Chain A
Amino acid sequence: MSARAIFTRPARLAAIVPYLWMVLFFLVPFGFVMKISLSQTAIAQPPYTPAFDLTAGLAAIGDALAALSLDNFRLLISDDLYLLSYLRSLFVAVVSTGILLLIGYPIAYGMARLPRRWQGIAMMLVIVPFWTSFLIRIYAWINILQHDGLLNRVLLALHLVSQPVVWLSTESAMYLGIIYSYLPFMILPLYATLAKMDRALEEAAADLGASPFKVFWLVTFPLSLPGVAAGVLLCFIPIVGEFVIPDLLAGSNALMIGQTLWLEFFTNKDWPVASAAAVFLLVLLLIPLLVYDRLQRRQFEEVK
């Protein structure tokens, strides 16, 4: 036994309460999502059958298990509405993550190049909007983008357009909103990696005859890849499931999966289908998470 255990043992005891909390309010609820995704829709309260009733005993649970079905998943696959909204979510997430990387990288790079005492301030400035409400920031854009909003007035005043342009309820407005909201999530991991990087490496590359572009492409960028991976993951996954931004800024002709789920749940009251959609989405999102985990582990082993 290492005597370090005299400190680790009480530390482990600290895990008990948060552990139970997360099991009860994070893990167990997923069990319910799984179960209800296999149930039938019903006009009842709650609106699905079979409703598990643990007081009914084992026999009832057996009956309930027999009544479970994969119908909801069949529906998800057969109905274009769901498939299309999945594909659209993935597409939107890929495009906006790409744009975020293109915009976020130069900003993070600029921050990492600032004198040290300014870096803290710059980081504050990037984080602060993240602290102000998400909804409020989207609302701020509605202010600007609406028919007689600031953007159209500026464009009209500059005679760039002859009549107001429709910005709201368009794809571009949605992408703008996503990029605006997720930019700090892309910048921060990139900045963290770039700021940690030893500047002597870039100087060494330049000393060995690399042009500034080559220095960036052959040294800086490859070394920042862990930050890129973290930033991409941090943006991509929540964007796939995004609800508020497409709902408020995009048109209603094509839905993202988050919107579909919301619609099934709140408007159609079809809880089983909404649950099936959630399970499907979760499985979809596990893939990039597992890939990221693999990458990180491999990197860790390389370092070792």
Chain B
Amino acid sequence: MMAEELARTHDETEPGAPAAELGKPESSLPDAVGMPLLRIEGVVKAFGGVRAVDGVSLDIRAGEFLALLGPSGCGKTTLLRMLAGFETPDEGRMLLNGRDIAQVLPHERPVNMMFQNYALFPHLSVRDNIAFGLKRAGLSRAEIKDRVAEMVALVKLKGLEKRRPDQLSGGQRQRVALARSLARCPQLLLLDEPLAALDKKLRESTQAELMEVQRRLGMTFIIVTHDQDEAMTVADRIGVMNAGRLAQLATPRQLYEAPRSRWIAEFVGDINVFEGKIEARETSRLTVATRDAGTLAVVEPRDAIGKANVAVAIRPEKLKLSRQGPAVDVASAHAVNRLEGVISDVSYLGGTTSYKVKLDSGAVVRASMSNTTRLDVDAYGLGQRVVVWFTPDDCVMLDQ
């Protein structure tokens, strides 16, 4: 219940209406005032000649929940380890509150990390694990006791303080790791795939708890993950990394609806891409001649595309299907972009049904429809001829 409520608040606090959000230049921080908490500038890290992180720059404001998303080997973990101090950048600066921490040793920076495998000390109890960092900070015995109790309450581990890590479940260990890394009140908390070891249901509830904790403490979190749903769920903004570079830094909605490149469009979610050439420019409307889908009308992108060769991309759920024949509905009849084809594959997925449509040109497009009724009156069968249609606004124009 808690999780749902949180998720709703999360949505409401999303700045502005969707259209407005997409219209904003994405590099600016929403509600950003003054200096960011963390500024990463042109950071480079090479291992044996291979540039694991290759010139990454980004700003994070205090209180933000940022996700670093990318395929394995994209450099996201290396970037995180540099922030923790386990690796030193070859080039660039990392300014935390204006101070460059690039060369500061791990135990001397106000940054803590939650490790992928939790790295709980097996010889220490839950209490001693949480108190470990507090003891190094030179707190008095009473202060440590209070702080540990506070942390135990925060992550709901009351009664387990004397257990050792091997006497805990995976979810409980994850909470101990979180409590331990939060105990020192770091200015920045780094989370390295913190939920990867949990099963799906537990992961979802834990995501909600992470967000609750982050919001309650007003702390700044950077999470590294390869799970898109997780990044979209928890993060205010997502930085997508590819081959050591930051491919795009944007809100989840911007990332999904306005991907900056074809690679991002294909990496985040599912998408149909038609390659083609720009034929004509009207007011805020382009006509593109595609190889597989004939002539398509597309809304003109904010950043003008210089080249004539472009790709028109459209998400499967934005494709609409209609039956052909006498019962043609009005919307599809007036649609600008109309394609015809035959249903070649149907996958029923519960909430949605995914169709593959073989167009008359031979190309295959994917369309997904919500199953809004229990009965299958709207469903399409294999071999059925359909019209596939979509509006110019639902298309994204990308470089090939």
Contact = CB atoms under 8 A, between A and B. Distances in A.
A231 B372 CA distance: 67
Contacts of B88: 1-3
A2 B87 contact: yes
Contacts of B133: none
Categorize the interface residue count of chain A. Answer: under 10
B105 interface: yes
User: Which of A1, A3, A6 has the most chain B CB atoms closer than 10 A to its own CB?
Assistant: A3
A6 B88 CA distance: 11
Contacts of A3: 85-88, 105-106
Interface in B204-261: none
A86 B61 CA distance: 77
B84 to A, nearest CB: 9
A117 interface: no
B44 to A, nearest CB: 14
Contacts of B85: 3
A109 B105 CA distance: 49
A4 interface: yes
A129 B85 CA distance: 49
Contacts of A6: 105-106
A4 to B, nearest CB: 7
A222 to B, nearest CB: 32
Interface string B2-38: 0000000000000000000000000000000000000
Contacts of A4: 86-87
A283 B94 CA distance: 57
Nearest to A2: B87
Contacts of A2: 87-88
A5 to B, nearest CB: 9
A105 to B, nearest CB: 35
Nearest to A3: B88
A4 B47 CA distance: 13
Interface string B72-108: 0000000000000111100000000000000001100
Nearest to B84: A3
Interface string A1-16: 1111010000000000
Nearest to B47: A2
A46 B197 CA distance: 68
A63 B86 CA distance: 58
B49 to A, nearest CB: 14
B75 to A, nearest CB: 15
A78 to B, nearest CB: 55
A1 B45 CA distance: 10
B56 to A, nearest CB: 17
A2 B84 CA distance: 13
A2 B105 CA distance: 11
A27 B381 CA distance: 81
Interface string B136-171: 000000000000000000000000000000000000
B45 to A, nearest CB: 9
Contacts of B86: 3-4
A2 B85 CA distance: 9
A36 B85 CA distance: 55
A200 to B, nearest CB: 22
A2 B87 CA distance: 5
A11 to B, nearest CB: 15
A161 to B, nearest CB: 58
A4 B85 CA distance: 9
Contacts of B87: 2-4
A63 to B, nearest CB: 53
A3 B86 CA distance: 5
Nearest to A6: B105
Interface in A48-98: none
Nearest to A1: B88
A111 B41 CA distance: 58
Interface of B: 85-88, 105-106
13 contacts: A1-B88, A2-B87, A2-B88, A3-B85, A3-B86, A3-B87, A3-B88, A3-B105, A3-B106, A4-B86, A4-B87, A6-B105, A6-B106
Closest 5 CB pairs of A and B: A3-B88, A3-B86, A3-B87, A1-B88, A3-B85
Given A2-B88, A6-B106, 9 more contacts: A1-B88, A2-B87, A3-B85, A3-B86, A3-B87, A3-B105, A3-B106, A4-B86, A6-B105
